[in-house]
Amino acid sequence: MPSKNTFARRTPTDIALHVWGILVFVYLFVPIAVIIAYSFNNGKVLANFRGFGLHAYISGINNDIIVSSIVTSLQAAVGTAIVSTIFGTLGGVALARARRGAWWALGLTAILGLTLVTPEIVDGISFLPWFVTVGVDWGITPLNNGLVRLIISHAMFSMAIVTFIVRARLAGMDTQLEDAAADLGATPWNRFKDITLPIAAPGILAGALMSFTVSLDNTILSSFVQQPGYTPWPVYIFSAVRVALRPEVAAMSTVMFVLTLAALGFVGFVLRKAGGNATEIIKTMAG
């Protein structure tokens, strides 16, 4: 490693920055490392380490309530990713192609911006009476399904993220390609499918990923809209916090952590094959 040489040229500020950078990384990773370490706790209480072993993993996988809450979370996350990607892509393309100052574009930007700055607790309490009104009083029964409620509320939350990512992605591209395709006789649908969508694809993928994680992570909103039988994983943990935390929570979280990393690695690999670069992808996601 050439680190010896580079350090020789570095000023005290540089060294201080390096130390700071490494300290921040340690800060970011220590709690995750603690959770992974404590998932091998054979004791009954999570925070009390009593011997190393895989007991927590075995009893976690055999616990029906835990498994069903993880399944609910994953279903809700996939559903949210699909719904918010469809609506967000449409919104993002529309906003990127809007005339300057069109009222519907300004209005949509303002509303979606508002969804991002509304505290999650407020979203939660406003969904609760609304689902009761629409689902029970008006008799639109699909809205009484716990999974549908989770997906709709999570997608509302992440739709704005997808819209803004897709808009940012398309803003850099002018309409010449689409005009050229139109001149060559492509139908609007073909233009959308063959030109706009492929250009927006990295943004759409990044948005879908963001929606998926935002949904998987969501606790406050979910705890308001959840229905019996459809308790998502974070809400399960949150209720366990108040009673007693068992090592199973850490074990199952570790499993999900490893799976998420594997999925991310796979997506990163696909994007790299497609000619993307990690820095660009993350920049796209950060907006």
Partner 1 sequence: MSTQTRPKQPRSKRPATKFFGPAAMSFPTWAYALFFFIIPLALIVFYSFGYKPDQFTAIATDHLSFDRYPEAMSASFVSTFFATLRISLLGTLLCLLIALPFAYWLAIKVAPARRSLALALVMVPFWTNFLVRTLGWQIMLSPDGFLSNWMQSLGLLDGPLDILYTRTAVQIGVVYNYLPLMILPLFVAIDASGKKLREASYDLGAGKVKTFLRVTLPMAMPGVVSGCLLVFIPLNGDYVTATVLGGASGSMVGQLIANQFNTAQNWAVGAAMAMILIISTLVVVGVGFALLKLGQTITARLNSVPLHDGRA
Chain-centroid distance, C-alpha 69: 18
Interface with partner 1, residue 283, by CB under 8 A: yes
Of residues 46 and 56, the one with the C-beta less far from partner 1 = 46
Interface with partner 1, residue 197, by CB under 8 A: no
Handedness of CA 53, 59, 65, 67 (dihedral sign): positive
Interface with partner 1, residue 182, by CB under 8 A: yes
Window contacting partner 1 (CB under 8 A); options: 58-66, 74-82, 200-208, 250-258: 250-258
Of residues 55 and 232, the one with the C-beta less far from partner 1 = 232
Q: How far is the CB of 54 from partner 1 (least distance, A)?
A: 19
Interface with partner 1, residue 97, by CB under 8 A: yes
Per residue in 119-140, is it b (16+ CB within 10 Å) or e — as a string?
eeeebbeebeeebeeebeeeee
Interface with partner 1, residue 268, by CB under 8 A: yes
Window contacting partner 1 (CB under 8 A); options: 50-58, 60-68, 80-88, 200-208: 80-88
Say how far apart CA 211 and CA 194 lie, in whole Å: 25
Other CB atoms within 10 Å distance of the CB of residue 87: 17
Interface with partner 1, residue 232, by CB under 8 A: no
Task: Kindly state the number of chain residues that form the binding site for partner 1, as judged by CB under 8 A.
Answer: 101
From the list 221, 255, 206, 240, the residue with the least C-alpha distance to 71 is 255
Cβ(209)–Cβ(45) below 8 Å? no
Cβ(204)–Cβ(155) below 8 Å? no
Q: Residue type for 239, please? A: S
Residues 109-138 that bind partner 1 (CB under 8 A): 111-112, 114-130, 133
Angle between helices 197-217 and 64-96 (to 10 degrees): 140
Window contacting partner 1 (CB under 8 A); options: 59-67, 74-82, 197-205, 211-219: 211-219
Residues 12-51 that bind partner 1 (CB under 8 A): 13-14, 17-18, 20-21, 24-25, 27-35, 38, 46-49
Say how far apart CA 185 and CA 189 lie, in whole Å: 11
Interface with partner 1, residue 166, by CB under 8 A: no
Q: How far is the CB of 249 from partner 1 (least distance, A)?
A: 7
Q: How far is the CB of 91 from partner 1 (least distance, A)?
A: 3
